[in-house]
Amino acid sequence: MLMRFRVANHASLLEEQELSLVATDEHDDIAVTEASAAGVRVLPALAILGANASGKSNALRALVYMRRAVLESHARWLPDGGTSRVPFLLTAGGRAAPSAFAVDIVLDGVHFEYGFELDDRQVREEWLRSFPEGRPRRLFERSVADDGTSSYAYGPSFRGRRRLIEDVVRPNSLYLSAGAGNNHDILRRIHRWFHRGLKVALDANFGARIQETRRLWDKSEEYRDRLRGLLQFADLGITDLSITEEEWDDERVRQVRSAMRVLVPEIPEDEAFDVKPAPQIGFVHAAEGGPVTLDLHDESNGTRTWAGLLGPVVGALQDGSLLVVDELDARLHPHLAARLVALFQNREWNTGGAQLLFNTHDATLLAPHSEANLHRDQVYLATKDARTGATELTALVDFRVRDGVENLEKRYLAGRYGALPFFDEELLVGIGAKRGVDEAGQAARDEEAEREHA
């Protein structure tokens, strides 16, 4: 369960920004979870609104980058490949300063804080703390010198093969990643949260999300009923899913095995490993002559979007994990987007502490009548500093909004909270005037040409 996420110097986020899912108000109508280990109540959903290019997506992608660093830095990042970070590029200070990421999470009733700082080449600092009885307790701290040598400090409760982990961790990899890879109990638990407890829905991983739907479909009839129910609920004209597996002939299998040996030279020549195509997902429509199954690429963009969310949504609600969705409203009807949020907000549907973190342009989600039922402490606003171009994230509660009294949608669209695009009408006037001059000039030239022709 995520309580807070902090980031500094990633993409358009220059100064440290924080997203907090800690409830500041009492809520009896949404699925708030008691985090007794931290002495707080945690929200089931959090929305980020703002104008185009305000940094909404960057705030979510910062968390996605942190996840990727945890999961890949030890096993996949090349020793001399740096960190692939994306610092703030509009100032020299941003390009030179380290980037920082930190989360506060609750796992198995324990409050942990984990974070790290890194530059283009290597990790600079890394730490893990727990909070028994609300007081911080150091588990490990790491600092890396300019020459790549690391120094460590450990708390008395952090045991295990610490020396082995120190020996295998590289300057550009995380101690957490190396420790989890070497089966350290506490580090493996934190690593597992990033792997299984944090699901991501971006355009770039659409294929993986479709395969997640297929995996859940194969898991049990219970999952099939849930997936089928969400498809039918969306009123897409779809009654069922169809999973088919293509059969490859011997020659195709031989070609794929040969290609795999080129890509992975470590595979022994005499190893006849299994290869088969990924199952294909079809969508069953009710038709006059009987059910008709269409391929994914034959469906509308809205259907494809909803299909790509089925697996992550069902998985998150079942596992009690966090789902991060970039542009929730993209290609979805506002009512359907609101009902998706409601799946996480509703106590009857969300019984395991699942969370939804998303950005959107859809201000109707803030309306009093919306099924999303978002409260003031569930909304952040993204704005760009006019001078530096840096993103600032502001909690709606900072505006002293009265929860349940003010119409958040109406006031947001009226500009009471900012985070709206500014249109310079004079630019349009200038464009219109220039067009008028151009048209007048062309008319004069046409008239002159007609006289010469006559």
Task: Tell me the CA distances in angstroms from 245 to 12, 89, 277, 323, one per residue in order.
Answer: 44, 47, 7, 29
According to CATH, the topology of domain 2-197+320-413 is Rossmann fold (3.40.50)
Confidence (pTM): 0.89
Which phi and psi (to 5°) does residue 448 adopt? -65, -40
C-alpha to C-alpha distance for 323 and 53, rounded to whole angstroms: 22
Token code pair at residue 317? 């609600």
C-alpha to C-alpha distance for 153 and 139, rounded to whole angstroms: 8
Please state the domain extents for the chain: 2-197+320-413, 217-304, 424-454
- Is the Cβ–Cβ distance between 35 and 111 less than 8 Å? yes
* Residue 428, C-beta contacts closer than 8 angstroms, at least 6 positions apart: none
Q: Tell me the residue type at 406.
A: E
Task: Tell me the CA distances in angstroms from 136 to 113, 191, 358, one per residue in order.
Answer: 9, 20, 30
C-alpha to C-alpha distance for 307 and 292, rounded to whole angstroms: 17
CB-based contacts of 200-207 (< 8 A; 24+ apart in sequence): 200/64, 200/67, 200/312, 200/323, 200/324, 201/308, 201/309, 201/312, 201/323, 201/324, 201/325, 201/326, 202/61, 202/64, 202/326, 203/326, 206/304, 206/308
Q: Distance of alpha carbon 51 from its chain centroid, rounded?
A: 18
C-alpha to C-alpha distance for 21 and 106, rounded to whole angstroms: 12
* Residue 287, C-beta contacts closer than 8 angstroms, at least 6 positions apart: none
* Residue 144, C-beta contacts closer than 8 angstroms, at least 6 positions apart: 122, 123, 124, 125, 150, 171
Which of 407, 380, 367, 364 is closest to 50 using CA atoms? 380
pLDDT digits (tens), the chain, 454 positions: 999 999 999 999 999 999 999 999 999 999 999 998 889 999 999 999 999 999 999 999 999 999 999 999 999 999 999 999 999 999 999 999 999 999 999 999 999 999 999 999 999 999 999 998 788 999 999 999 999 999 999 999 999 999 999 999 999 999 999 999 999 999 999 999 999 999 999 999 999 999 899 899 989 999 999 999 999 999 999 999 998 877 777 777 777 777 776 666 666 666 666 666 667 889 999 898 899 999 999 999 999 999 999 999 999 999 999 999 999 999 999 999 999 999 999 999 999 999 999 999 999 999 999 999 999 999 999 999 999 999 999 999 999 888 777 899 999 999 999 999 888 888 777 676 555 556 655 666 666 666 656 5
- Is the Cβ–Cβ distance between 37 and 110 less than 8 Å? yes
Which of 3, 45, 5, 80 is closest to 393 using CA atoms? 5
* Residue 126, C-beta contacts closer than 8 angstroms, at least 6 positions apart: 115, 116, 117, 140, 141, 142, 174, 175, 176
What dihedral do alpha carbons 426, 431, 432, 434 form, nearest 10°? 120
